[in-house]
Amino acid sequence: MKARGRFTNRFGFIAAAAGSAVGLGNIWKFPFEVANGGGAAFVIMYLIFCFILCFPVMVTEIAIGRKTEKDPVGAFKALGFPRWNFIGKMGVLAGLLILSFYNVVAGWAFGYFVQLTFGNFDIGDNFGEYINNIGRVGSYGAVFMLATAYVVSKGISGGIEKASKILMPTLVGMMLILVIYSMTLPHAFEGIKYYLIPQFQEINFKVVYNALGQAFFSLSLGMGALITYGSYVSKNNNIISSAALITISDAGIAFLAGLMMFPFVAYLTQGAVHTVEGGPGFIFQVLPGAFESMGPMIGRIIGALFFLLLSFAALTSTISLLEVPVAYAVDELKVNRTYAVWFIALFIFLMGVPSLLSNGDSQFFTNFVTYIGAEKPTNFLDFVGHIGSDTLLPLGGFLITIFAAYVWKKNNLNEEIETGYPGFKGSFVEKYIDFAVSYLCPTVLGVIFLLTLLNRFFGVEFF
């Protein structure tokens, strides 16, 4: 049998896993969640959730993957609990759903890179028209999916690892250039102040819920992406310190994204940061105007750099989203990697077509469902996001921790972590992971899952 592929070293694994974590979530979503959630008060909560709640889940996923050297479905079987492999199947489904809409947004970002390279600053005002030009955004999306599939088809060390080792350091470099440049803009300081001064009175239950969901999605947890990547890691890898580095990179990049974005907004609004409505369209509608006012040449460079950065961040995430179903097809269904990659990529691209059409082009997909108690219909793209990321990920995280603590059992989890980290057993970290995986994570994630279900789909008001 052909060997399964492996990361060649620790840096390769961390670059790939941090690449999965750092994505549209950090740069597209995080800053507007901050803007809507009390500035630094949100940032502080987000950081706490990343380390207290998400970190133990990440450690568990990596340990399950490394122990079994299997895809998320095969992993549960390999541990001797085939009935629990439905968790892995749910993860594969979540991967398909998330990638189908994520690729659409990544395609928009890549298209903006092309448009701004050619100095088309009006694109922000014409965002509605832009996303409804299916031929054009469809082609950008197709290019993005092709790039993703190409990398994944090259395997673990020659594809995913190699691409991540190039893309991640480049991304950090571009980010630093943009942060430094944004600091030199007029009114930058007002933006930073808005970002870094906590407004605790803005915090309510809804904001806490958003911070939790954002941290979980941002760290790519709950669908077995890290079980999959963990299965390519060597036994002498220290899972605890690797997971810590991945978490720090992800939180650090989200933080830097805020440092870059708020000065841009302050510059554009001449200091009146609070007047800008944060929302999903924000980056696409508002930022091109800010770039334009930097002047034709600088604006073009900074604008193109920004959207290239966003595209790179998205690419390392789409790679991991595609790798989950591909690993399943390769390990369980014994399909050749190249066939699996191209077939699944095409399938997901087609699954994304309704999302592409759901911003006005097709009335059916634009007004796709009206949830119980909701005033307005939800379009297809948002609907897939609500199912794939908001519902299936916390449910997956809940089940993975329940499984690890009560079915596989903690001593087995500890045993796996100890391999590569002698001295783990009996340490404070072990006690914390034990507590979190047995009680804290299942409780919090179970509650998030139920709240999402009841609130989002059935109109029960909690907040």
Nearest CB to ligand PFF, comparing residues 148 and 362 = 148
| 244: amino acid identity, one letter | A
Q: Name which position in 100, 242, 317, 362 contacts ligand PFF (CB under 6 A).
A: 317
Given the rule CB under 6 A, which of 23-31, 78-86, 137-145, 200-208 is the region that contacts ligand PFF?
23-31
CB of 373 to ligand PFF, least distance (A): 28
The answer to whether 74 contacts ligand PFF (rule: CB under 6 A) is: no
The answer to whether 220 contacts ligand PFF (rule: CB under 6 A) is: yes
Given the rule CB under 6 A, which of 44-52, 279-287, 316-324, 340-348 is the region that contacts ligand PFF?
316-324
Nearest CB to ligand PFF, comparing residues 217 and 262 = 217
Q: Name which position in 231, 320, 358, 391 contacts ligand PFF (CB under 6 A).
A: 320
Q: What's the number of CA atoms in the CB half-sphere (13 Å) around residue 216?
A: 28
CB of 101 to ligand PFF, least distance (A): 11
Q: State the greatest distance between any 2 C-alpha atoms of the chain, in Å, as a whole number.
A: 63
The answer to whether 23 contacts ligand PFF (rule: CB under 6 A) is: yes
The answer to whether 20 contacts ligand PFF (rule: CB under 6 A) is: yes
Angle (CA) 312 318 324, round 5°: 145
* 225 close to 320: Cβ distance less than 8 angstroms: yes
Total binding residues for ligand PFF by CB under 6 A? 15
What is the C-alpha to C-alpha distance for residues 412 and 136, in angstroms, rounded to an integer? 51
- 330's tokens: 């390769």
What is the C-alpha to C-alpha distance for residues 107 and 105, in angstroms, rounded to an integer? 5
Given the rule CB under 6 A, which of 220-228, 256-264, 270-278, 287-295 is the region that contacts ligand PFF?
220-228
The answer to whether 218 contacts ligand PFF (rule: CB under 6 A) is: yes
The answer to whether 228 contacts ligand PFF (rule: CB under 6 A) is: no
CB of 252 to ligand PFF, least distance (A): 13
CB of 226 to ligand PFF, least distance (A): 8
Q: Name which position in 14, 59, 225, 436 contacts ligand PFF (CB under 6 A).
A: 225
The answer to whether 92 contacts ligand PFF (rule: CB under 6 A) is: no
Nearest CB to ligand PFF, comparing residues 220 and 452 = 220
Stated length of the chain: 463
| 365: amino acid identity, one letter | F
Contacts of 88 (CB under 8 A, 6+ apart): 71, 72, 73, 74, 75, 76, 224, 227, 328
What is the C-alpha to C-alpha distance for residues 451 and 460, in angstroms, rounded to an integer? 9
CB atoms within 10 A of CB 373: 12
Nearest CB to ligand PFF, comparing residues 171 and 273 = 171
The dihedral built from the CA positions of residue 180, 181, 182 and 183, taken in this order, carries a sign that is positive
CB of 38 to ligand PFF, least distance (A): 21
In the block, tokens 């391999």 appear at: 419
Nearest CB to ligand PFF, comparing residues 98 and 287 = 98
* 116 close to 291: Cβ distance less than 8 angstroms: yes
Nearest CB to ligand PFF, comparing residues 14 and 188 = 14
Q: What separation, in Å, do the N-terminal and C-terminal C-alpha atoms of the chain show? A: 54
CB of 317 to ligand PFF, least distance (A): 4
Nearest CB to ligand PFF, comparing residues 225 and 259 = 225
The answer to whether 285 contacts ligand PFF (rule: CB under 6 A) is: no
| 171: amino acid identity, one letter | L
Specify burial of residue 372 (Cβ count, 10 A radius: 0-12, 13-18, 19+).
exposed
* 231 close to 237: Cβ distance less than 8 angstroms: no
* 124 close to 285: Cβ distance less than 8 angstroms: yes
* 216 close to 33: Cβ distance less than 8 angstroms: no
The answer to whether 321 contacts ligand PFF (rule: CB under 6 A) is: yes
CB atoms within 10 A of CB 411: 11
Nearest CB to ligand PFF, comparing residues 20 and 285 = 20
- 202's tokens: 């803005």
The answer to whether 25 contacts ligand PFF (rule: CB under 6 A) is: yes
Hey, what long-range contacts does 426-429 have (CB within 8 A, 24 or more apart)?
429/240
DSSP 278: P
CB of 25 to ligand PFF, least distance (A): 2
Contacts of 203 (CB under 8 A, 6+ apart): 37, 38, 41, 42, 45
What is the C-alpha to C-alpha distance for residues 19 and 3, in angstroms, rounded to an integer? 24
Nearest CB to ligand PFF, comparing residues 56 and 72 = 72
The answer to whether 109 contacts ligand PFF (rule: CB under 6 A) is: no
Nearest CB to ligand PFF, comparing residues 134 and 147 = 147
Nearest CB to ligand PFF, comparing residues 192 and 348 = 348
The answer to whether 223 contacts ligand PFF (rule: CB under 6 A) is: yes
The answer to whether 72 contacts ligand PFF (rule: CB under 6 A) is: no
The answer to whether 210 contacts ligand PFF (rule: CB under 6 A) is: no
Residue numbers at the binding site for ligand PFF (CB under 6 A): 20-21, 23-26, 98, 217-218, 220, 223, 225, 317, 320-321
